[in-house]
Amino acid sequence: MRRAAVPFYALIFLTEMVWMAIVPVAPTYAEKLSLSKVQTGTVLAAAGVATLLVSLPIGLLADRIGTRALTIGSSALVAVSTLGQALAMDFWSLLVTRAAFGVALGTIWTAGLAWSAEARRRGPESLGLPVLVAGVGIMSGPAFAGVLAGRFGVRVPFLVLAAASALVTLAFVAAETHDTPYRREPLGETLRAARRDRVVVAGVAVILLVGTMGGAINLLVPLELRHNGFSSAGLGLVLSGSSAIFVLGSAVVTRLGSRAVTLGVAGIAAVLYGASSLIPVAAASSGALVAFLLVRSPFWATLSTLAYPLGGLGADRADVGRGAVMGLMNLVWGAAASLAPIVAGAIAQTAGERGVYAGLVACALGTGVWLFAERGTTEPAVEPAPSFET
C-alpha cells in the first residue's frame, strides 16, 4: 500500500510545515496588512481553535461515512486554504483562510489517521509514524518560510506549499485504497464503551499530559530565557535542537513498532519526563533551562508518539470507531494545549515559575505511576509487528 502511504505522509509533512510557516512571517503580515497585536494573535490562534472545535465531530462523521473521502477533502482544503493565506489582502481574509486550514488539520489528525492505518493494513502501532513525520515538518517549516519570505516575499512560501499540497491531493485521488468500516453508534454509547477500556483511557491520559506539559513549558521557558538575556537567534537554536532530539526519539519508538505500544513504556516515559522537570525546579539559570529542554525531549517524543497508537489499540479492544477516539484525543490535546499556558501564567504570577514546574512534575509522575500500575491488567495480547515501512 505504498501508493497510499506516500501521499499521506507527504500531507502530514506539508500540513505541519504550513502550521509553523506562519510563525516567522507573522510580523511581516502584520506590517503589510496593518494588523494590530490582537489581530495578529487572533490569526495565530485561529487554526488551533478550529482544530479543537472540529476534531470530535469529524471523528464521529468519519466513522459514519468513511475516512477516505474526508482525508482527500482535507488534503484539498489544505491546498486551498494555504493558497488563501498567500493571497490574503486583509485581516478577515487571512483569518478565514487560517481557520479553514485548522479545519483541514483537525480532519487529517482524526479521519486521516484512521484511514492511514486501514489503507496500509497495519495495526494501531502504525499511528505513531505520523508523529515522527510531523516532527520533521514542524522542525522544517519555520526555516523554510523564513528563508523564502526573506528572499522572495512573504507570500511565496505559502504559494509553494499550496502547489505541493495540490499535487498530494491528486496523488490521493489516483491511489486506490480501502475505506474504513462504517459505524453508526450514538456518541454517548461510543464514549461509554471507550471509557470502560483502560487502554483508551491511557491514550487520553497520555495526550492530556503531552498537551499540558507542552503548553506550559512553551510559555515559561522562552520567557525566562529572554529575561536572562537570550537572543531570539539563541532561543531558536535551542528550540531547534530540542525538536531534533524529539525527531530522533520518535524515530526510535516508531522503529520498535508494537513492542513499544504498552502502558509500561508510556508509564516509564511519563515518570522520566516528570523527573527531568525537576531541573527548572532546582535552578532557573539559562544553563539549567537549556538542559531541561534538551533532556526532556526524548521522553516528550516517546509520549507523543505512543498516544495515538494507544488510542487506536484501545478503540479496537473496545470495539468502537477509531475516528471517534482520534477525535476525542485531539479534543483533549487541543483543550490542554490551549488552557495550560493560561493556567501556568496565572500560577507563575502568584506562586512563581518554580511552583508551575513543581505542579508539572506532580502531573507527570502521577500519570506515569498510574500507567505503570495498570500495565498488568490492561496490556493487550498482541504479536510484535514488523518494523515500520518508510
Give the mean pLDDT of 64-88: 92
Q: Poorest-confidence range of 10-14, 217-221, 285-289, 306-310?
A: 217-221
- Cα(265)–Cα(284) distance, integer angstroms: 30
Average pLDDT over residues 314-322: 81
pLDDT above 50 (res 380): no
Residue 361 pLDDT class (50, 70, 90 cuts): very high
Cβ neighbour number for residue 3 with a 10 Å cutoff? 13
Of 241 and 204, the one with more pLDDT? 204
pLDDT in tens, 362-378: 999 999 999 998 876 44
Span 57-70, mean pLDDT? 84
Alpha-helix residue ranges (DSSP H) falling in 33-123: 37-65, 68-87, 91-107, 113-119
**Does pLDDT of 245 surpass 60?**
yes
Cα–Cα distances in angstroms (integers) from residue 138 to residues 23, 244, 246, in the given order: 11, 10, 11
In order of start, what are the domains of the chain with their CATH numbers? 2-171 (1.20.1250.20), 187-378 (1.20.1250.20)
Looking at residue 175, what is its pLDDT?
74
Question: Residue 237's pLDDT is what?
Answer: 77
State the pLDDT at residue 79: 97
State the pTM of this model.
Answer: 0.80
State pLDDT tens for residues 258-311: 888 899 999 999 999 999 999 999 998 989 999 999 999 999 999 999 998 898
Q: Which residue has the higher pLDDT, 387 or 147?
A: 147
- Residue 182's pLDDT band (cuts 50, 70, 90): low
Among 169, 369, 359, 389, residue whose Cα is nearest residue 277: 359
Higher per-residue confidence, 243 vs 232: 243
The predicted pLDDT at position 302 comes to 95
Q: Report pLDDT digits (tens) over 136-176.
A: 888 888 888 888 888 898 899 999 999 999 999 998 888 76
Average pLDDT over residues 100-105: 94
Residue 387 is predicted with a pLDDT of 36
Of residues 45 and 107, the one with the higher pLDDT is: 107
For 120, the 3-state DSSP assignment is coil
Whether 380 contacts 317, CB under 8 Å: yes
CB burial readout 129-144, b (16+ within 10 A) else e: bbbbbbbbbbbbbbeb
- Tally of CB atoms within 10 A around 189: 10
pLDDT band at residue 126, thresholds of 50, 70 and 90?
low
Q: How much of the chain exceeds pLDDT 90, in percent?
A: 37
How high is the pLDDT of residue 176?
A: 65
What pLDDT is recorded for position 147?
Answer: 84
pLDDT confidence of 56, banded at 50, 70, 90? confident
Write down the pLDDT at residue 382.
41
- Residues 6 or more apart whose CB falls under 8 angstroms from that of 91 comprise 33, 35, 39, 43
pLDDT digits (tens, 9 = 90+) for 333-352: 888 888 888 888 888 888 88
Q: How confident is the model at residue 379 (pLDDT cuts 50, 70, 90)?
A: very low
